[in-house]
Amino acid sequence: MRKRYFRARSAGFTLIEILIAFGIATSLIVGLLSVYLTCGRSWHRASLAIDTTREANRCLDQMVYGVGTNMGLRSCSWVTNTGSASDWVLRASNFNGVAWYDYNPAQTTVVYSNAAGRLVIGTNIVASTVTATGSGVGITLTVQKSDGQFTGSGTMSTFVKLRTAMMR
């Protein structure tokens, strides 16, 4: 009697099939990681730009509409710029008395002062100009922030028309 020998079929994948699957999975992971990092960088840049614009807007709002219960430039009857166009000190008079808005480029801040004290209302301000005309004051602020390898800047400007057009 003759014995038959059957060769057992092995179940599973060959080494070549495993290597091909591993290469495809690695390519997908590298591609997805690249997209994730690019989106993260874009989000970080946009977030920094939004923060700088928000900071400039907040500072201008406090200058124009007031700080706390104190009225701002919008309610002033006269404004005097005692500095230069880029290193300025605005002296303003309204119903609350006299107040000062002081931009110091060395400290990159805008400070509000009155008889009660001083309050920093703007930070990271790298450039600012004040233009006084017969009927009001034009103000431009540029805020710049750095975070690691990213830098963002935002510029805001406004023109404040005085109640009574008196410039000193």
**How far apart (Å, rounded) are the C-alpha atoms in residues 166 and 82?**
15
The pTM of this model reads 0.76
- The residue written with tokens 């690695």 in the block is 26
pLDDT of residue 167: 45
List phi, psi (to 5°) of 100: -125, 140
If one counts every other C-beta atom within 10 angstroms of the C-beta of residue 63, the result is 25
Q: Write the Ramachandran bin of 75: left for phi over 0, alpha for psi from -120 to 50, otherwise beta.
A: alpha
| CA dihedral for 82, 83, 86, 88, sign (positive or negative) | negative
Of 168, 110, 99, residue with least CA distance to 141: 110
pLDDT of residue 9: 65
pLDDT of residue 10: 66
Name beta bridge partners: 145: 152
How does pLDDT run across 139-161, given as a tens digit for each residue? 999 999 998 888 999 999 999 98
Question: Residue 60: what residue type?
Answer: L
pLDDT of residue 11: 74
How does pLDDT run across 39-50, given as a tens digit for each residue? 999 999 999 999
- The residue written with tokens 């930070």 in the block is 123
Helix or strand holding residue 159 (H, E): strand 150-161
Q: Which residues of the chain have pLDDT under 50?
A: 166-168
pLDDT of residue 26: 97
Q: Which residues contact 162 (CB under 8 A, 6 or more apart)?
A: 73, 76, 77, 78, 79, 135, 136, 137
**Contact by Cβ (8 Å): 160, 74:** yes
